Structure 1
Amino acid sequence: MSTPTFPPLMQGVAVSGGEAPFDRARAMAAMGCDGGTVVHNVQADRLRAALVFAPEVALAEAMAMLPLCGVGFQNALGALAPPEVAVHLTWEGGIRVNGALCGQLQVAADTSDPALVPDWLVVGLDLVLLQTTEDPGETPDRTALYEEGCADVPAEQLLESWARHVMTWINRWESDGNGPLHAEWMGLVPGVGEAVTRAGISGIFLGVDERFGMLIRDDATTHLVPLTDVLEDEA
């Protein structure tokens, strides 16, 4: 297994066995590690990684890193996988490959106050490479990357590509704001115009606002569920 190579301003930290990169990254961030640290654990059936950010904007704005990392993943897999492989990103961070759930992005920060600038923010990636159940047909809504025509995509190469595309999008976000990211991401989000329930609100998923908050229309009004609703509990 090769050692992944990351772009300038990113540094890799490998963990092994059952250790979760997302948990290690949160602990390292709380101890003051540098932004750009990529904690990763590549196994035969699973690719997990987490990227530490050191935001300079309030949490409400910094939450854009979740959809940004999702778009970076879609771009990375799109560059390596056969052209017929379709990748979609759910609002809460799910990764769907050819219509079935294949992985998950998650996000945590040292604060849940949208008005505060976080000391750190971590986005984690957890991708299933191989199904380990005896009968994958029992869970048709779930899949694995290598079962969707991507068996020739090396996990380490996908990890490297994800990091490069994330860095490209960070640079674009810093220069151009949310607009280009919003346009790219909304083209990948399924379920717009369909019924949804989130944060105790049920209605039609209309799309998102400029900060990627979910807009839900019920019989009476349009509700906004901010993206901070998907934050993991503080460590």
Structure 2
Amino acid sequence: MSEAPQFPPLFEGLALTGSADPFTKAQTQAIMGCNAGLVVYNLAADQLRAAIVFAPEVPLTDAMPVLISCAIGFQNALGALAPPEVAVHLDWSGGILVNGARCGRMRVAASTKDAKDVPDWLVVGLELPLIPANVDTPGDTPDQTALYEEGCVDVRPDELLGAWVRHTLVWVNRMEEEGLKPLNTEWRGLAHNLGEEIEWSLGETQEAGTFVGTDEHFGALLRSGEDTRLLPLSRLLEGDS
């Protein structure tokens, strides 16, 4: 049975139960003026869901790489707790891959979608299935998996959540102190489908092309024929802000 997660100083947990969605709740709390560092979470038997509230002091374009810090933080956290043979990679569009199959996702929302505005708040969410949704027919979705299907039955959700927040804090601090270069170096080694053809669903829009890399703010560069276009990281923002 999961215990209360242990968070670093200045982080505070808010536990939810039942079907309550931490990502939605975190945005509500942020709008109401909660402190940065609030971690809203729901640890169910079949999935781990959580969200962290941030209070950026820079324009949205410069704040969005916090999403990358959170994604790398999760990869580092699971990498430290899972057996060494478990491989974790990150999809630019937010997907998490464990041993090559999709296993949850990162989400992001902010108080604004204007690249030049300083957001009042930014929320990054994590959704991670622990057991398959279709336990009786796993062959129906061979490209999707769940954490316990990949040799991670000994990874406790509360420990993984605490580790995610701690590793994320390390990367957020490095980003603030050293800039984006260390983050970029780490992320490139974890990026899924880099240099390959991709198809991403971003809201109601489908994007396709060769994923050739990112710009200095982690916007995705997609090549189609002779043309290369930029998808800013803010394209991943959810909501109507």
Q: State whether TM-score is above 0.5.
A: yes
Q: Deviations over 1:1-49 (max 9, x none)?
A: 3111110011000011000000000000011100000000001110000
2:236 alignment partner in structure 1: 230
Change (3 A) 1:49 1:201: closer
Q: Would you say 1:104 and 2:105 are equivalent positions?
A: yes
Distance in 1 separating the partners of 2:166 and 2:206: 37
Q: Which amino acid aligns with 2:67?
A: L
1:29 alignment partner in structure 2: 30
1:193 to 192, 195, 216: 195
Matched-pair contact (CA < 8 Å) for 1:3–1:156: yes
Matched-pair contact (CA < 8 Å) for 1:108–1:234: no
Distance in 1 separating the partners of 2:183 and 2:193: 19
Distance in 2 separating the partners of 1:121 and 1:22: 11
What pairs up with 1:2-151 in 2 under 5 angstroms?
2-133=3-134, 134-151=136-153
Q: Which amino acid aligns with 1:65?
A: V
Secondary structure at the aligned position of 2:210 is classed as strand
How far did 1:201 drift? Answer: 5.0
Q: Which amino acid aligns with 2:240?
A: E
1:158 alignment partner in structure 2: 160
Deviates further, 197-206 or 83-92: 197-206
Unaligned runs of 5+ residues in structure 1 are: none
User: Over aligned residues, Cα RMSD in angstroms?
Assistant: 1.2
Secondary structure at the aligned position of 1:204 is classed as strand
Secondary structure at the aligned position of 2:181 is classed as helix
2:225 alignment partner in structure 1: 219
How far did 1:132 drift? Answer: 3.0
How many residues align structurally?
235
Q: Which amino acid aligns with 1:5?
A: Q
2:185 alignment partner in structure 1: 183
Secondary structure at the aligned position of 1:61 is classed as helix
Matched-pair contact (CA < 8 Å) for 1:109–1:234: no
Unaligned runs of 5+ residues in structure 2 are: none
Matched-pair contact (CA < 8 Å) for 1:67–1:93: no
Q: Deviations over 1:103-133 (max 9, x none)?
A: 1100000100011100000000000001131
Secondary structure at the aligned position of 1:210 is classed as coil
**Runs of 4+ more than 4 Å apart:** 197-201
Secondary structure at the aligned position of 1:28 is classed as helix
Q: Would you say 1:206 and 2:227 are equivalent positions?
A: no
Q: Which amino acid aligns with 2:95?
A: G
How far did 1:200 drift? Answer: 5.4
Distance in 1 separating the partners of 2:207 and 2:68: 22
Secondary structure at the aligned position of 1:112 is classed as coil
Q: Which amino acid aligns with 1:228?
A: S
Secondary structure at the aligned position of 2:117 is classed as coil
Distance in 1 separating the partners of 2:79 and 2:193: 21
Distance in 2 separating the partners of 1:201 and 1:39: 31
Q: Would you say 1:174 and 2:176 are equivalent positions?
A: yes
Distance in 1 separating the partners of 2:167 and 2:233: 22
Secondary structure at the aligned position of 2:14 is classed as strand
What TM-score, normalized by structure 1, do the two folds share? 0.97
Q: Percent identity?
A: 54
